[in-house]
Each structure stands twice: as C-alpha cells, then as structure tokens.
Amino acid sequence: MIKTLTPEQIAMEEVFCQKWIKKALNTERIDPAKAEIAVASLYKMLGEPMPRFEIHDGPIAAWKRVCEIATDDPKKRAELEKNIVLPLIDGVINAGYYAYLDFLDYIGVKVGEIEEVKLYRTLSEVAWVWPMEGICILSENPSGIHLNEDSNLHNEKGPSVEYRDGLKMWDINGIQVDEQIVMAPHTQTIKQILGDTNADRQAIRIERFGWLPFLKQTNAKVLDDRFNDVEGTYEVLYETTVGNIVGNRLVCTCPTGKIPVMGVPTRIRTCEEAQFWLGGDVKANVLGRT
C-alpha cells in the first residue's frame, strides 16, 4: 500500500497534467485511422459488431446527423435538434481524469490494464462520440481554443472555443457569457445587466458595459464629491444598487486619463474616508476601469 509520495513522484503530477492539457487543447482534425480504432474498441466492449462511422465538423453538425438517423418525422427531428444531448463519450474533455490514471500507473497502482481504462485512453483520440446501432457519429475537435494565464477559457475579442461547423462558445476568465457581452458589450441594457442572476457574469457585464455609463443609467446616488489636491484628481463617491446588493464606488478622474472605479465598504460616506481606506493596510477591491 502506498502511503506517501516521493518528491520525484509529486513532481511528475504536473508533467502528466500538462501532457493531457495539451491533448485537450488539440485543434487538429481527427485522424480517421485513430478514430476507427477508437470506435472498434468501443463497440467491442459493447458486444456489438464494428459499425460504419462518420466524422462531422462539430457537435452541432454531428447532433443534426444523429437526429436525422433517429427519426424520419420532420417535426420530431426539428424538436430534437433544439435540444442537443451531449454524447456518451467525451474524448479529451476529461483530460484531468486521464492525467490521474497515468499518474496512478506511474506510482505503481496499475490501472492501465483495466479494460475500461484502455477504452477511455483509446477514445481520447477523438472529441465527441455518439454510438448508435450500426453507425457511430463523431465530432471534430475545435478549430480554436483560447485560454487566460490561469488556463481558464477566455477571449475578450472573440469566441473562446470555435468549431468548424460554426458552433462558438464565449467565455471571459472561465465564466460562460454570450456573444453580445464579448463583441458588443455597450449594447447591453440595464434590464439585461440587473436581470442576470449569475453574480460572476453580472460583474463581467458591468465591467464590459462600463462603470460610468452604468452609474449614470442606474441613477446611482452621489454621496460626496471633491477635488483631491494631493492626487490631482476629481473624485465622486456613489452608492450603487445591483440587484439586492448595495455597494459604494469611488470614481476618480486621474491625470493619466484613466478613470478607475474602486469599491469601498458601505460605511464609507465621503471621498476622504474612501481614499484613507484605500490607502490603508486593506487592499482596494478594484471592480472596474473604463
């Protein structure tokens, strides 16, 4: 029984993780030969004969083909197409799981000979798989994937994930958003922003929309304003309400042209108190910059 890991073994955890992260970020087209091996392995385990298989440009195209095979009724097919069902096997999407299996093999916990593990590793060569009777539908890998420094899906200028069939996904710092938030944030309405029940996404909405327009359009209450001779800035302290959350924001017009918007506790009622708090031992919570 393994009770402790050596420093060398611990160091290898990152090696396996990086290996599978790289594999999960693969944007090359699927190798048909590897796909055939994966499909054959899957159907062998299911006790079914080798089917013919089709590789489509993305999950949407693949799902439409699944619906086409499932029913000849146009109405039923149209209804099915609206509700895409994730496939049985998700290929490299579970990269962390595969990295863990590799690490177990490395430290001596032999799981690599288990038939299910062999199958999963084989299927890691393909992205999405819909096994059906006599036919197996596969989706190509994404054509583009964008991450931030923390390896979260992120792209402020376009889709974070894009497939060859036209499917696009939108994320900012790992939070799923929509095309409008990324490509046309200033077209959002206050109703959209305040109506978003996801707190993380709502914060992104405001950040992208711009704090100054948001403050103006929500009629935020001015608590105090002044010209700061020391900093050379004009400051306004607002009381804002976002959903059920009340918070204070100090807006400063800096000589550099930047207009930082910084959150301060609700007990702060003047610009002077806000600057004192921001300059203290407690770090400022910078909520947005315009």
Note down pLDDT in tens along the chain; length 290 residues. 778 889 999 999 989 888 888 888 889 999 999 999 999 998 998 899 999 999 999 999 999 999 999 999 999 999 988 887 765 555 555 677 888 888 998 998 888 788 888 887 788 878 788 999 999 999 999 999 999 998 889 999 999 999 999 999 999 999 999 999 999 999 999 999 888 888 889 889 988 998 889 888 888 999 999 998 887 888 999 998 876 778 888 988 877 777 778 888 999 999 999 988 988 744 444 444 33
Residue 261 lies in a domain: yes
Same domain, 137 and 223: no
**pLDDT at residue 290, as a whole number:** 39
Tell me which of 100, 121, 141 is where a domain ends. 141
**pLDDT at residue 279, as a whole number:** 84
Burial class (CB in 10 A: 0-12, 13-18, 19+), 53: buried
Burial class (CB in 10 A: 0-12, 13-18, 19+), 34: middle
Both tokens of residue 104? 């177990």
Side chain identity, residue 167 = L
Helices (H) then strands (E): counts for the chain? 11, 13
Rounded to 5 degrees, φ, ψ at 152 are -95, 150
Length of the chain: 290
**pLDDT at residue 91, as a whole number:** 53
Residue 67 lies in a domain: yes
Same domain, 30 and 130: yes
Same domain, 130 and 248: no
Q: Report DSSP letters for 46-60, one per residue.
A: HT-PPPEEEEESSHH
Residue 41 lies in a domain: yes
- Residue 238's domain comprises 215-289
Give me the residues paired with residue 253 across strands: 234
Residue 244 lies in a domain: yes
Residue 196 lies in a domain: no
Both tokens of residue 257? 């042209």
Report angle CA 6, 97, 169 to the nearest 5 degrees: 135
**pLDDT at residue 92, as a whole number:** 53
Same domain, 114 and 233: no
Tell me which of 77, 107, 141 is where a domain ends. 141
Judge contact between 218 and 210, C-beta under 8 A.
no
Tell me which of 107, 141, 175 is where a domain ends. 141
**pLDDT at residue 154, as a whole number:** 95
Judge contact between 246 and 239, C-beta under 8 A.
yes
**pLDDT at residue 110, as a whole number:** 83
Can you say how many angstroms the Cα of residue 131 is from the centroid of all Cα atoms in its chain? 27
Q: What is the per-residue burial (b if ≥16 Cβ within 10 Å, else e) of 165-177? A: bebebbbbeebeb
Same domain, 12 and 135: yes
